[in-house]
Amino acid sequence: MPQTASKPETLSRSGAIDILRDELIKLAGDEASICKVAAEKNIFCRGLHRFSDVELRHRFDWINAKNPSMPRAEMEEMVDRWQLARQEVDNLPTACDVQQREHDGCRGWDDFTNEDLSRFCLELTGRTVVVN
């Protein structure tokens, strides 16, 4: 008898974000922002690697203004530390939560469609979900 494919799990947008947040926090730990981990592992939104050098420096121009000739790796490290500091100050769990409020590097969770969230759930957890 042929196997029937199971129906994808249906999740609310906030439910999918909760799952993704938990997975990303596990990967990042306390020493790095999820932006850094996403860039290093080429997962999720690809973190800071999704921005060209010019765009990264423009988005975080107040950091770049201190030393416009700093290498990109140093710039990314400064942004990572800034993200972690904002998480601490605002008592928020991830950089996506910070950016949803701050909107300087990106728009956080608001940058992602429901389809993006579904794809990220599959990528990070192996679960096939439909987000609505």
Kindly tell me if the per-residue pLDDT of 1 is higher than 80: no
Could you tell me which residues come within 8 angstroms of residue 71 by beta carbon, excluding any fewer than 6 positions away? Answer: none
User: How do residues 85-116 score in pLDDT, each as one tens digit?
Assistant: 999 999 999 999 999 999 989 999 999 999 99
pTM of the model: 0.89
- Taking Cα atoms as reference points, which of 108, 128, 130, 131 lies closest to residue 44? 108
Q: How far apart are CA 104 and CA 115, in angstroms?
A: 24
Check residue 7 and give its pLDDT: 85
Which element (helix H / strand E) includes 10?
Answer: strand 9-11
Check residue 5 and give its pLDDT: 61
